[in-house]
Structure 1
Amino acid sequence: MTSAPGDATPPSKSKTWAMAWSDLVRGWGQHELWLQLGWQDIKQRYRRSTLGPLWITIATGVMSLALGLLYSMLFQIDVAKFLPHVTVGFIVWGFISGCIKDGANVFIENEGLIKQLPSALSVHVYRLVWRQLLFFAHNMVIWLLLVIIFRIPLTWHTLLAVPALLLLVLNGVWVTMLFGIIATRFRDVAPLLEALVQLLFYVTPIVWTTETLKQQGGEVAQRALLAEINPLYHYLEIVRAPLIDKPLAGYHWWIVLGCTAVGLVITLFAMKQMRFRVPYWV
């Protein structure tokens, strides 16, 4: 078997931990390339549009407002508390779901570049995560409006959102790389992930809160504990809680850090075993 395009290293020598890590490092070093490509993706998506990327913010804002008002009436929760919960939840969820769903097709959609451009495989991963981060930044305009309208206090606690977001981005990298490799080899994985993400949306406290369920008592309160099993809840909470001035329990951080470490190890193993085969699978 010959080596991958743009990579003179034989496959037998590519299956090492050092080569897997080297791909991530080389890809990061080519930041000018993936930064430009990611920004170009945004411009191309809204080409000839009058409002351009503002449609990202408008769509998220309208959906958050509609569901926030609806569920605040159903659950009888103060809008000033519930609307920021829903809105920031939507913003963070957009980043998470984008990395999962788009990540499954990241190599398939870049077939031409992978076969012709001599760059690290991780360049396409960084490009996608950077694009999702730009979407996130656009949507944060809505959070600023909520801060002004509902007078959400900005304290030192708010700064916890910065390391939380960095953790989210790091997880976006390994999620995109891992699912990208697997879905390139097994094409049924992408639609499966699409359906799974939709299911996870309903079992993640975005348009509902665990506090509301716990206040009901009995079996309803016990069901609220099921949210703790969902790791996406903890990723969501470490970013959302500081931004809406909500207390954040320390165990959320430990769960996220644990999932991050395990995910990185699994991803490096997948890269070690299958990275060099991706150009032949696309």
Structure 2
Amino acid sequence: MFNLAIADLMQSITSWRLWTLLGWLEVRQRYARSRVGPFWLTISMGVIIGSIGVVYGTLFGQQMSEYLPFLAASLVMWNAFAQMVQEGSVAYINSGTYIRQAATPKLIFELQVIWRNLTVLAHNFVIVVLLLVVFGVKNWEALPLFIPGLIVYVLNALWIAMIAGLLSARFRDLPQIISALIQIAFYVTPVIYRPTSLKRFSFIVDWNPLAYLLDVVRGPLIGQPPSLLTWGVTVGMLVIGWPIALLMTGRFLKRIPYWV
């Protein structure tokens, strides 16, 4: 089973020209004939960050020079993760026509989702860069840790999307359930509030793996190097999650065309 899944993954990776092209074309088609193009995503995200930043920053009594970079990094990175998982859950369903007609590697459709959302992330990340320029980088030594953190972040999103896509192809009600769960996770994960804000209920953050996953990419951007616990939890998620995802993929890979 592992060999079958790994072979499909390797074939999908070597077909990178196909899934990068398809992912980029989908982004372009959404904003065809628009002068601003995909940067409408950036404008929309910027308005959301500005609105929430003013309202919640005032409610929480935060300094805008500290809170806005924190909020921007949180929302931009959370949005990327949420979209990867949500769109990954319907990747096989939406590509059912291609899967039934052509003998292509199946994981290519999950990689397409990841690449498309990385493209969107690159556009939205402009906001984070602008805020870092305006308010200054808090810790230049911590900033390079964003790169390994992003790799861990994306790889975790990929294995979750692989499992979600496989199960959703079999159980068609699951995408709606996943969407609801991600919405709930947004509220119990420190996205718009700081992890230290929950004093009596700090266990909500302490036992939330998504809090550590978000911190591994947000921390370096706001000048806080991720702790060893954060690295341990996020890398541990990879060690546990990827074998499960590959095992399930290898077990049900040949059934996907019948399910979709």
- Verify same fold: TM over 0.5: yes
Letter in 1 for 2:124: N
CA distance in 1, matches of 2:53, 2:203: 23
- TM score, norm. by length of structure 1: 0.90
Aligned partner letter, 1:180: G
Give 1:246 deviation, angstroms.
2.1
Number of paired residues?
Answer: 260
Aligned with 2:168: secondary structure?
helix
Aligned to 1:136: 121
1:264 aligns with 2:242: yes
Answering whether residue 222 of structure 2 is matched by residue 237 of structure 1, we say no
Aligned position for 2:253? 275
**Alignment correspondent of 2:32:** 47
Alignment of 1:31 with 2:16, yes or no, is yes
The match for 1:173 is 158
The structure number with the bigger radius of gyration is: 1
1:227 matches 2:205? yes
Alignment of 1:37-116 (within 5 A): 37-116=22-101
Asked whether the equivalents of residues 153 and 216 of structure 2 are also in contact (C-alpha less than 8 Å), the reply is no
Report what 1:216 is aligned to.
none
In structure 2, how many angstroms separate the alpha carbons of the residues matched to 1:158 and 1:56?
A: 25
Structure-1 separation of matches of 2:195 and 2:139: 24
Q: Look up the match of 1:206.
A: 191
Deviation, 1:49, is 1.8
**Cα contact 1:146–1:152 (8 A) shared by 2:** no
- The separation in 2 between residues aligned to 1:101 and 1:55, in whole angstroms, is 21
Q: 3-state SS of the aligned residue for 1:156?
A: coil
CA contact (8 A) 2:69 2:131 kept: yes
Partner of 1:12: none
State the distance in 1 between where 2:207 and 2:40 align: 34
Please say if residues 139 and 224 of structure 2, whose CA atoms lie closer than 8 Å, have aligned partners that are also in contact. no
- CA distance in 1: counterparts of 2:223 and 2:210, whole angstroms: 20
User: Tell me, what secondary structure is at the counterpart of 2:201?
Assistant: helix
1:1-31 superposed Cα distances (whole Å, 9 cap, x missing partner)? xxxxxxxxxxxxxxx2211110101100101
- The runs of at least 4 aligned residues of structure 1 exceeding 4 Å deviation read none
Looking at structure 2, the residues matched to 18 and 249 of structure 1 have their Cα atoms a distance apart, in angstroms, of: 35
Give the RMSD, CA atoms, in angstroms.
1.1
| 1:224 Cα deviation from its structure 2 partner | 2.0
Contact 2:77/2:121, CA 8 A, preserved across alignment: yes
CA shift at 1:154, angstroms?
5.5
Q: Secondary structure at the match of 2:202?
A: helix
1:103–1:177 CA contact under 8 A, matched in 2 = yes
Deviation at 1:99, TM superposition (A): 1.3
What is the letter of the counterpart of residue 252 of structure 2? M
SS of 2:91's equivalent in the other structure is coil
Unaligned runs of 5+ in 1: 1-15, 214-220
What TM-score, normalized by structure 2, do the two folds share?
0.97
Q: Give the conservation status (yes or no) of the 8 Å contact 1:39–1:131.
A: yes
Q: How does 1:111-130 map to 2 (within 5 A)?
A: 111-130=96-115
Provide the rounded CA distance (Å) in 2 between the counterparts of 1:270 and 1:177: 9
Cα drift, residue 117 of structure 1? 2.4
Percentage identity across paired residues of the two chains:
32
Contact 2:24-2:116 at 8 Å conserved across structures: yes
Query: In structure 2, how many angstroms separate the alpha carbons of the residues matched to 1:24 and 1:51?
Result: 35
**Residue 247 of structure 1, CA deviation:** 4.1
| Shift, 1:210, TM fit | 2.0
Secondary structure of the 1:273 match is helix
2:129 & 2:250 partners in 1: Cα distance?
42
